[in-house]
Structure 1
């Protein structure tokens, strides 16, 4: 079915499947984003997915799955750690212009791409920071100041929770976008999650529009302050995952 639809139709109809009403402006912004992604991808490695239909489904709609699964409040403050080419943070901002979004990536070239996307799309209340989560997670302006942290295809769960939970306020959420086989990762991360001041709220299984690929959204709720020593110094969470 998806092969017979234009990029714009995929975005519009896919959004409807996710219970999102993406207006004409949003669809046009996704068009521009897609064009910039393909243009920059010839210079730096942003994505292995270069088919236009697959970009629409596997990057953009995949990023938006969360909006149909959890309540994301108006003007929610969102941080996207290890955003890469901007997923899921920029699609979320396009679909929900009210959100206040911070994108974090450790590679300067990707940061330059993200800044051009924000500029060309004229997005407001969205910022990009070049740095590592292990360092930025200790900055007073970031630490425990976000309602929602999101991460997609960044690292294994025990590492991911240490990168993200220090950014989340008590009462806020961290949502990890994972493939269908996430049960073992969730179990491995249980001790780290407890140590970092959170608990597993829910693991939701959902499906990509048009192609039916399974996705898991692993949702954590912050219940108490993260101890000041976390996140540990750069590189250590990956070398020695917490609680494993």
Structure 2
């Protein structure tokens, strides 16, 4: 790493520490070292496989790291033990949340084995313990006893429309737990059309949060759903059907 790159990394670390501290989240030196290593591994692996279209360090720190951590601005993750991240891609938001909250038992589900390989390497390189990586479609994994109705919290970030996400994610949530759909576009229409799926899958709308990404001034939204009863056994439907025929 050049002296200029090292200086830029240090300044971005300071910015991330300041921005998260303003939201009540304290990051230490060890965690910032993990974020720096995460960035470097992401860029290196991105040359071999398509993980992200965002590789500029400034944007990765804000659009990926800060955005992932934003869940902690609205929910108390210190009281969450088990977290599942569905369709995590390059590890967002699950891995940044695991870095910030090492106590979390994190499970990541992704349909592409190459991404699972990257995430396995990443978890080992960052020294993260308590990370389970599952290769498969969410529709199939959610039917397995060890994953169904098992998690205190479930996340999905910019994966699909809410009516689709609900069927993919709510079966993983235990009764009394919550699902956070992290969105980059206005969600009023999505939330309205998802009313049927929310009720049918055993949840209720707990609220919607909105904020702007610092430096980027981009809008972000977070739809919070609370699981109030078990999801009927017929859901999720077979792989591909929730996308083709959402519960509307």
Alignment TM class, shorter chain as reference:
over 0.9
Match of 1:137 among 138, 142, 155: 142
Whether 1:37 and 2:77 are equivalent positions in the alignment is: no
What is the CA–CA distance in structure 2 between the aligned matches of 1:46 and 1:102, rounded to whole Å? 19
1:72 aligns with 2:94: no
Counterpart mapping for 1:42-191 below 5 A:
42-191=47-196
SS at match of 1:6: helix
Q: Write the distance in 2 (CA, Å) between the matches of 1:180 and 1:136.
A: 28
Alignment pair present for 1:205 and 2:210: yes
SS of corresponding position for 2:48: coil
Change in 2 beyond 3 A, CA 1:75/1:174: closer
Deviations 1:214-244 (A, max 9, x none): 21110000011100010000000001011x2
Q: Which residue of 1 aligns with 2:239?
A: 234
Matched residues in 2 for 1:24 and 1:215: separation? Answer: 27
- Residue 79 of structure 2 aligns to a residue whose secondary structure is coil
Native 8 Å contact 2:163 2:190 kept in 1 = yes
| Alignment length (residue pairs) | 241
SS in structure 2 at match of 1:27:
helix
Unaligned runs of 5+ in 2: 1-7
When normalised by structure 1's length, the TM-score is: 0.95
Distance in 2, Cα, partners of 1:8 & 1:21: 12
Q: CA deviation at 1:210?
A: 3.1
The CA deviation string for residues 105-126 of structure 1, in whole angstroms up to 9 with x for no partner, is: 0001100000000000110111
Deviates more, 1:6-15 or 1:105-114: 6-15
Q: Shift of residue 76 of structure 1?
A: 1.8
- Any conservation in 2 of the 1:196–1:227 contact (CA below 8 Å)? yes
**Superposed displacement of residue 208, structure 1:** 1.7
RMSD (CA atoms)? 1.4
Q: What TM-score do the two structures reach when normalised by structure 2?
A: 0.94
